Structure 1
Amino acid sequence: MPLTADVKAELIALRDPRPTARVAELTALLRFSGGLHWIANRVAVEAELDSDLLARRTARELVDMYGVRPELVQVQGGATSGGTRFAVRVIEAGETLARQTGLLDQRRRAVRGLPNRLTTGSRPDLAAVWRGAFLAAGSLSDPGRSAALEVSCPSSEAAMALVGAAHRLGVAAKAREVRGIPRVVVRDGEAIRAALAAMGAARAAAAWDQMRQRREVRAGVNRLVNFDDANLRRSAQAAVAACARVERALEILGDEVPDHLLAAGRLRLAHRDASLDELGHHADPALTKDAVAGRIRRLLAMADKKADLDGIPGTESAVPAEEID
């Protein structure tokens, strides 16, 4: 997804100088991109990422913050991820790193959600949690009916922790499960913009919001055009039906048509697309819209009554089938 790549490129280039924020981002990234593995009863920390640039950045952060030297490995993506992926592995000092980041508790058990100190931290730390989670497993779709910012989660507990962090940032997010995978989803357009801005992707937030506004304006214009087209189509159908009925009425009545009704009928046929108000202006002397409508109505009623007495089809029979609702 081009939008996802743009957001991640902006976030990769961002470096929060606050130590707690750096810890929060790195911990969330490790948690949402793989986390812990047990190899021969030893704890290994592994992050499987979708870009070489992000993998190298993660490796540098591990060296700078924890003094461990991770292994960088290129791996083939699975059925769901696809493509080439890059693994950052810490095996030798894996258990120490896991304890330091809070991914492993004091009883040597993996933390299923996120360390409590992260989800109850300051606003910059909460933003860093979201930044790390999105870099690890996030995606952003185009603005539109199905627009969404999503993060795939390693567990339902991790999803709920991320939802809680979003709410503390003022972003409406929901946890749901899709094909057995827990996800955190932000759907509201303004909430997506706010989430991007909170993570630090200011350019992506502005670009996404601009695209959303353009689509909303275009959709509004299309609705108006369709509405106008429908109105014009109904008006045209009504005009065709009215003229067909008037022609049939004059045919049924023949010489029995009163002069004022005959004049109204001929006026209708002479100006087939005109409104009743416009017909009134064409009359000599001029008539009101209600006067024209009344005369045409009486003309049709008189013709239908005579047709009923004579046992012949009335004025409705002249209306084309596609014009009848």
Structure 2
Amino acid sequence: MSFSSRVKDELSRVVPAARHCQIAETAALLGMCGTISADESGRYTLRIHTENVTVARKFFILLKEAFQVRSEIAVRQSHFSKKNRTYIVYVSDSEGTRRVLEAVKMISEDGEIGEDFARVRNIVLRQDCCRRSYIRGAFLAAGSISDPEKSYHYELVTSDPERADQLCTIISTFSIEAKIVVRKKYYVVYIKEGDQIRDMLGLMGADTALMDMENIRIVKDMRNSVNRQVNCETANINKTVSAAVRQLKDIEYIRDTKGLASLPVPLKQMAELRLNAPDAPLVQLGTMLEPPVGKSGVNHRLRRISEIAEKLRQEHGISPE
């Protein structure tokens, strides 16, 4: 099961105790993946279509808990794949359907069906707890989240630009910044920042998924820290080895052309030590001198030796490497 599926499975089992929160979540499910119809005699029906059985189960439970409405579930098998199924939860009872539509503000007093969730202070979304429930319902209906082992990405998909704007507005009330991108004919509300996705899991009520994500992030941070340290140490080792090789070449060139005896005594002593201890770090070389000198002193002497070798090469018409 994917991380996104695990999150939805957990959220499908979160049923808010307050009826107003149940109504908000029902409104999101209906708005994101529901259809409402009325026949010529004025009888209403509603249904949602989903490929996720956990979403169907959640809608079934909400209808029962919040409205005492009996619904039915049908399953359609795809003609192209035995694995793809569509779950349809529908209410054929006209009075029950009307009670639901009135509660989620999708029907006017004269019986006209419509939606207006774009109003800034919609009564369905007036409280924080209701907005949390609405986001949870929207995610169940049309959301996904990437595996935090691979990347950080949370999204809600809708075909309605006004609904996308409203989702961003609702999310922003929790100090979380969501953005919108158009993907073909859909409007995708997305979040890519790890800390904010963690906060989204928390406000939706996916506590287990939140802890799983935090554990993964801790391991990833530790792994990245170790990798950075190893890379830094490797770079330092490579730098030290390269410097030592260059120093040996300079010393050997002086030895083979003019002789180490031509160097001042401190530099001659340094050159002989480096030849005898080609792999020794500068600090160790300093302790081997008499009297001992610090790392900066060793580095200064080796740099002087390199300058002398370079001058000799120029005198002999040898180009620098």
**TM-score range relative to shorter protein:** 0.7 to 0.9
Structure 1 length-normalised TM: 0.82
Correspondence for 1:320:
none
Q: How do 1:122-201 and structure 2 match up within 5 A? A: 122-143=127-148, 146-201=151-206
Correspondence for 1:73:
74
Q: Find 2:105's aligned residue among 97, 102, 107.
A: 102
Correspondence for 1:62:
63
Task: Quote how far apart the aligned CAs of 1:45 are.
Answer: 2.8
- % identity of equivalent residues: 26
Correspondence for 1:203:
208
The residue identity in structure 2 corresponding to 1:16 is P
Partner of 1:249, secondary structure, is helix
| Partners of 1:235 and 1:38 in 2: CA distance | 80
Task: Quote how far apart the aligned CAs of 1:86 are.
Answer: 0.6
Q: How do 1:290-301 and structure 2 match up within 5 A? A: 290-301=296-307
Is the contact made by 1:51 and 1:86 (CA closer than 8 Å) also made in structure 2?
yes
| Partners of 1:78 and 1:174 in 2: CA distance | 36
Is the contact made by 2:23 and 2:103 (CA closer than 8 Å) also made in structure 1?
no
| Partners of 1:171 and 1:299 in 2: CA distance | 60
| Partners of 1:178 and 1:161 in 2: CA distance | 18
- Deviations 1:41-99, CA, capped at 9 Å, x for gaps: 986533112333431442343355445544422235699xx822211234563973545
| Partners of 1:158 and 1:67 in 2: CA distance | 28
| Partners of 1:52 and 1:225 in 2: CA distance | 46
* Distance verdict in 2 for CA 1:38–1:209, change over 3 Å: farther
Task: Quote how far apart the aligned CAs of 1:110 are.
Answer: 3.4
* Distance verdict in 2 for CA 1:51–1:285, change over 3 Å: closer
Is the contact made by 1:46 and 1:88 (CA closer than 8 Å) also made in structure 2?
yes
* Distance verdict in 2 for CA 1:68–1:224, change over 3 Å: same
1:212 aligns with 2:256: no
* Distance verdict in 2 for CA 1:305–1:22, change over 3 Å: closer
| Partners of 2:310 and 2:60 in 1: CA distance | 89
| Partners of 1:45 and 1:247 in 2: CA distance | 90
Correspondence for 1:14:
14
Between 6-15 and 84-93, report the one with greater CA deviation.
84-93
| Partners of 2:300 and 2:60 in 1: CA distance | 86
Task: Quote how far apart the aligned CAs of 1:123 are.
Answer: 0.9
Gaps of 5+ in 2: none
Partner of 1:150, secondary structure, is strand
Correspondence for 2:237:
232
Correspondence for 1:322:
none
Is the contact made by 1:105 and 1:111 (CA closer than 8 Å) also made in structure 2?
no
| Partners of 2:280 and 2:257 in 1: CA distance | 24
Between 126-135 and 285-294, report the one with greater CA deviation.
285-294
Structure 2 length-normalised TM: 0.83
Is the contact made by 2:13 and 2:58 (CA closer than 8 Å) also made in structure 1?
no
Between 9-18 and 118-127, report the one with greater CA deviation.
118-127
CA-based RMSD of the aligned residues comes to: 3.1
* Distance verdict in 2 for CA 1:118–1:135, change over 3 Å: farther
* Distance verdict in 2 for CA 1:41–1:253, change over 3 Å: farther
| Partners of 1:111 and 1:270 in 2: CA distance | 86
